[in-house]
């Protein structure tokens, strides 16, 4: 027979026959079974596949929710209530989807901070990182559109505040605002298009995730030591080592996720959203979902509208520049004595911003908000380049294998000395 | 030709394409791309323009008539015009006095209404046609929330003279919709076009006969 015969490891002649014509089995064998990964990946490397799992869960539940939902201002709220009360397991689908948004962001934020700590964005993985930032932006847009759909008070007023951000643009801001809404205020045309976009964007995310994975496979995964793989002794096949590790991590994650779905389904939401949208009554306080609070705090901390909006967008777009703002040639913070600690300042800063974003801009919250906003940009624009210049990194190990085997060789000795004393 | 085969530049290589003289084929290629670009724009425009307000949405923006005799002194009513809340306030002489209080004026960001947030006929200290009746678009110029009507002195903070307080991000306006400085809102609350039909009837959405052609599309910020 002409052409290359299938290299898939199987005794089944049917699979071989199919694989010669449509190499699906070869693809899976290469991508998920034989695929070599660095042998030292820790549990923080679980969060990429966890994010992929969350995307599948969100799309699956979303398709079934859309079968019950009516995107009209007069029916949207009651169609969601009907889903909760009358549709078989409608409450379950909705709580999986609703809490899924939160857990998707938890996973992705940990994934991002993992990338930041271990320098996963550095050459040659800059585009891999930037595609990740694109996915984050698409996720934020999708989450925002989705939050508008139940047509509660927070849906309506959140949509009003966020779409009004565009009116800060000089001259063309107001026409853009009207064009986005399809009217002079958030209304039925707005709800319809947001539903359409909420259904569309997840599939755009799937596409960008595909590019993200192509870019990942080009140079392989980074690893906790941040040094390049030098040969087969540094690697182990994906299956069974990382399939089992990913599965175990997924199990732990799903237990926590299920606790929220079944016992705390509304803990992460806002009770205001169980009141139907009223265009003539602004709720006492408008707050976005928790995962957008740090960015909201940056918006509110600046007492000028245009600069506030620019700072909000800059706080996310600055991540595109991270590969060049970090001037250190060492990837992993494990070998960076100063950055190792400065990393945690950013974590604290983001948590501080999140807390400020959840409260009215009064008293101490204004002061903390402004300091934290200043620090956020200071960290990326000033601190990071400077540390890269002045920091003296620790010596890097020869190879992943050398570092790992040294550790395991030392371990029994340590246990012995423990037994003696 | 041996040079070419080895990929070495030098004498004997054929001239590169960009040094070749412009031909009819180049012209046709450029013209073809240009027509395709025009076609792409022609296709994109109807799609993008379909997202603008539709005819029924625009038709819902017809003028609204309001009977002022039913608005008690010190009271505010809210009516909808073009799906936006319109505040109509019957200001008492005491409330009007606060608008000229130097303490109030010194704290305002645009006390003389220089930004084009109102029609010419409302560009005055009371920002209205008649001082007694205030007509405003009740949408905060920061991010579009509806400011709360807080006419009672000291109700928002000590020294508060009465005015509007936005619950979302803390913007403050006085009782003519003029924004205080040091708050996130950049502009005064807009005044919609309106005119008196009789002593007690106003029509929101129409200018007075001699009032020019003001519309909300021309304001700086809604």
Report how many Cβ contacts below 8 Å link chain A to chain B: 89
Tokens standing for B6?
């080895």
* Chain A touched by B80 (CB under 8 Å): yes
Contacts of A281 in chain B (CB under 8 A): 146
CB A54 within 8 A of CB A139: no
User: What was the pLDDT predicted at A3?
Assistant: 61
Domain assignments of chain B as residue spans, ordered by start: 24-218
Question: Of the ranges A157-166, A179-188, A339-348, which is most confident?
Answer: A339-348
CA closest to A194 among chain B residues: B51
Q: Do B145 and A160 touch (CB under 8 A)?
A: yes
List Cα–Cα distances, A134 to A56, A189, A207, A421, B126, in angstroms. 18, 27, 11, 55, 49
- Chain B nearest C-alpha distance from A166 (Å): 9
Beta-bridged to residue B173, according to DSSP, are B164, B179
Spot the catalytic one: B6, B126, B142, B169: B169
Chain CA centroid to CA A106, Å: 7
Question: A230 and chain B: CB distance < 8 Å anywhere?
Answer: no
Residue A137: φ, ψ to 5° = -60, -45
Q: A121 touching B, CB under 8 A?
A: no
- ipTM (interface predicted TM): 0.76
The rounded distance, in Å, linking the Cα atoms of B180 and B156 is 13
Using CB atoms, which residue from B53, B185, B222 is nearest to A183?
A: B53
Does the beta carbon of B144 lie under 8 angstroms from any beta carbon of chain A? yes
| Residue ranges per structural domain of chain A | 36-286, 290-391
User: Could you tell me if B44 lies within 8 Å of chain A, comparing CB atoms?
Assistant: no
Cβ separation B186–A185 shorter than 8 A: no
In the sheet that B133-137 helps form, which strands lie side by side, from edge to edge?
B76-81, B84-90, B133-137
A52/A108 Cα distance (integer angstroms): 10
H or E stretch at A38: strand A36-38
CA distance A400 to A221: 13
B112 min Cα distance to partner chain A (Å): 20
What are the residues facing B148 on neighbouring strands? B165
Please report where in the chains the tokens 């001082």 appear, as a residue. Answer: B131
Model confidence over B43-60: pLDDT tens digits? 999 999 999 999 888 887
To test the contact with chain A by mutation, choose from B56, B110, B164, B184 the residue with the greatest count of A C-beta atoms within 10 A, namely B184
Q: Do A174 and B221 touch (CB under 8 A)?
A: yes
pLDDT at B220: 76
What's the helix, strand, coil split of chain A in %, to 5? 70, 0, 30
Contact criterion met (CB below 8 Å) for B21 and B15: no
Question: Left (φ > 0), alpha (ψ -120 to 50) or beta: where does A229 sit?
Answer: beta
* Min distance A134 CA to chain B CA atoms (Å): 23
What would the two tokens of residue A106 be?
A: 């938890």
Burial of B204 per CB tally in 10 Å (0-12, 13-18, 19+): buried
* Residue A112 pLDDT exceeds 90: yes
Residue of A nearest to B50 (CA): A182
The answer, for A167 touching chain B at a CB cutoff of 8 Å, is yes
Mean pLDDT highest for which of A406-415, B31-40, B172-181?
A: B31-40
Judge contact between A374 and A298, C-beta under 8 A: no
Check B186 against A305: CB less than 8 A apart.
yes
Q: Are B136 and B130 in contact (CB under 8 A)?
A: no
Residue B149 contacts A, CB cutoff 8 Å: no
Query: Of A288-292, A405-409, B161-165, where does the model show the most confidence?
Result: A288-292
Q: Residue length, chain A? A: 421
Q: State the architecture of A290-391 in CATH terms.
A: Orthogonal Bundle (1.10)
Give the A window 285-304 contacts with B, CB below 8 Å: 285-286, 300, 302-304
pTM given for the model = 0.84
**A13-23 pLDDT per residue, tens:** 999 999 999 99
Q: Which of B54, B61, B84 sits opposite A189 (nearest CB)?
A: B54
- The mean pLDDT value for A189-200 works out to 97
Rounded to 5 degrees, φ, ψ at A331 are: -75, -60
* Residue B170 sits at the chain A interface (C-beta within 8 Å): yes
Chain A residues closer than 8 Å to B164 by CB:
none
Give B145's contacts in chain A (Cβ within 8 Å).
Answer: 157, 160-161, 282, 286
- Which chain A positions have a beta carbon within 8 Å of B51's beta carbon? 179-180, 182, 193
Q: Which residues pair with B84 in a beta bridge?
A: B81
Q: What is the DSSP string of A163-219?
A: HHGGGGSTTTHHHHHHHHHTSSSS-HHHHHHHHHHHHHHHHHHHHHHHHHHHHHHHH
Q: What is the pLDDT of residue B195?
A: 92
C-alpha–C-alpha distance, residues A222 and A71, integer Å: 44
Q: Tokens 């089995």 map to which residue?
A: A25
* pLDDT confidence tier of residue B221, bands split at 50, 70 and 90: confident
- Facing residues of B88 across strands? B77, B135
Q: Is B75 on the interface with A (CB under 8 A)?
A: no
DSSP chain B: -HHHHTT--STTPPPPGGGSPP-HHHHHHHHHHHHHHHHHHHHHHHHHHTTSPPHHHHHTT--EEEEGGGS-TT-EEEEEETTEEEEEEE--HHHHHHHH-HHHHHHBSSTT--SS-S-GGG-STT-SSSTTEEEEE---TTTS---EEE-STTSSSTT--SEEE-TTT--EEETT-PBBTTSS--SPPPPPPEEESSSSEEEET---TTSTT--GGGSS--
Q: What is the pLDDT of residues A294-320, one digit of tens each?
A: 999 999 898 888 999 999 999 999 999
Closest by CA to A246, choosing from A26, A39, A53, A30, is: A53
Question: A185–B52: do the CB atoms touch at under 8 Å?
Answer: no
The DSSP call for residue A280 is T
How far apart CA A71 and CA A215 sit, in angstroms, is 37
Asked if A160 reaches chain B (Cβ–Cβ under 8 Å), the answer is yes
On chain A, the residues whose CB falls within 8 A of the CB of B217 are: 174
pLDDT of residue A410 exceeding 60: no
pLDDT band at B5 (very low <50, low <70, confident <90, very high): very low
Contact status, residue A237 vs residue A34, Cβ threshold 8 Å: yes
Q: How far is the C-alpha of B97 from the C-alpha of B159, rounded, in Å?
A: 15
B169 is a catalytic site residue: yes
In CATH, the architecture of B24-218 is 3-layer Sandwich (2.102)
Q: Give tens-digit pLDDT for B150-178.
A: 988 888 888 888 899 988 888 899 999 99
Q: What is the pLDDT of residue B15?
A: 54
The yes/no answer on whether domain A36-286 falls in CATH 1.20.810.10 is yes
Taking contacts as CB-CB distances below 8 angstroms, the residues of chain B near A303 are 182-184
């Amino acid at each position: 027979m002409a052409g290359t015969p299938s290299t898939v490891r199987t005794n089944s002649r049917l699979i071989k026959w199919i694989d010669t014509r449509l190499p699906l089995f070869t693809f899976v064998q290469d991508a998920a079974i034989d695929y070599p990964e660095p042998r030292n990946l820790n549990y923080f490397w679980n969060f990429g596949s966890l994010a992929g799992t969350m995307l599948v869960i969100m799309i699956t539940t979303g398709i079934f929710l859309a079968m019950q939902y009516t995107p009209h201002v007069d029916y949207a709220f009651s169609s969601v209530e009907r889903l909760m009360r009358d549709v078989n397991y409608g409450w379950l689908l909705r709580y999986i989807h609703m809490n899924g948004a939160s857990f998707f962001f938890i996973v992705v934020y940990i994934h991002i901070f993992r990338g930041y700590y271990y320098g996963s964005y550095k050459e040659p993985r800059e585009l891999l990182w930037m595609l990740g930032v694109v996915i984050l932006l698409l996720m934020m847009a999708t989450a925002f559109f989705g939050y508008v759909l139940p047509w509660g008070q927070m849906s309506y007023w959140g949509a009003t505040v966020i779409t009004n951000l565009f009116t800060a643009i000089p001259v063309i801001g107001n026409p853009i605002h009207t064009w986005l809404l399809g009217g002079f205020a958030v209304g039925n045309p707005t709800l319809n298009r947001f539903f359409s976009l909420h259904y569309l964007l997840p599939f755009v995310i799937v596409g960008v995730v595909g590019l993200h994975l192509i870019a990942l496979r080009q140079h392989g995964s980074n690893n906790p030591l941040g040094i390049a793989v030098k040969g087969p002794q540094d690697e182990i096949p994906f299956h069974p080592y990382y399939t089992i590790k990913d599965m175990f991590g997924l199990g732990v994650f799903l237990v926590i996720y299920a606790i929220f779905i079944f016992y705390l389904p509304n803990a992460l939401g806002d009770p205001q959203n169980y009141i139907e949208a009223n265009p003539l009554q602004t709720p006492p306080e408008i707050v976005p979902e928790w995962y957008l609070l740090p960015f909201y705090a940056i918006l509110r901390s600046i007492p000028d509208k245009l600069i506030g909006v620019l700072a909000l967008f800059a706080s996310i777009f600055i991540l595109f520049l991270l590969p060049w703002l970090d001037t250190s040639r060492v990837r992993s913070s494990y070998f960076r004595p100063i950055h190792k600690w400065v990393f945690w300042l950013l974590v604290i800063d983001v948590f501080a911003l999140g807390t400020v974003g959840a409260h009215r801009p009064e008293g101490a919250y204004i002061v903390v908000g402004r300091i934290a906003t200043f620090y956020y940009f200071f960290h990326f624009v000033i601190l990071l380049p400077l540390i890269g210049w002045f920091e003296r990194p620790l010596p890097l190990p020869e190879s992943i294998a050398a570092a790992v085997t040294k550790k395991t060789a030392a371990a029994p000795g340590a246990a012995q000395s423990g037994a003696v004393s | 030709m041996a040079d070419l085969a080895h990929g070495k530049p030098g004498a004997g290589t054929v001239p590169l394409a960009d040094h070749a003289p412009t031909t009819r084929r180049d012209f046709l290629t450029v013209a073809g791309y240009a027509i395709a670009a025009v076609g792409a724009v022609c296709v994109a425009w109807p799609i993008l323009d379909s997202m603008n307000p539709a005819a029924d949405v625009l038709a819902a923006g017809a003028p609204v008539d309001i009977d002022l005799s039913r608005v008690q002194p010190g009271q505010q009513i809210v009516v909808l015009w073009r799906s936006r809340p319109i505040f109509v306030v019957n200001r008492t002489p005491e409330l009007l006095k606060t608008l000229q209080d130097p303490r109030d004026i010194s704290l305002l960001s645009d006390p003389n209404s220089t930004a084009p947030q109102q029609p010419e006929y409302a560009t005055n200290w009371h920002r209205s046609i008649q001082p007694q009746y205030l007509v405003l678009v009740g949408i905060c110029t920061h991010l579009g929330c509806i400011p709360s009507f807080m006419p009672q002195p000291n109700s928002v903070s000590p020294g508060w003279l009465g005015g509007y307080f936005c619950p979302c991000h803390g913007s403050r306006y006085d009782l003519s919709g003029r924004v205080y400085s040091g708050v996130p809102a950049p502009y005064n609350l807009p005044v919609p076009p309106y005119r008196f039909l009789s002593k007690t009837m106003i029509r929101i959405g129409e200018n007075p006969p001699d009032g020019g052609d003001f519309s909300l599309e021309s304001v700086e910020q809604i």
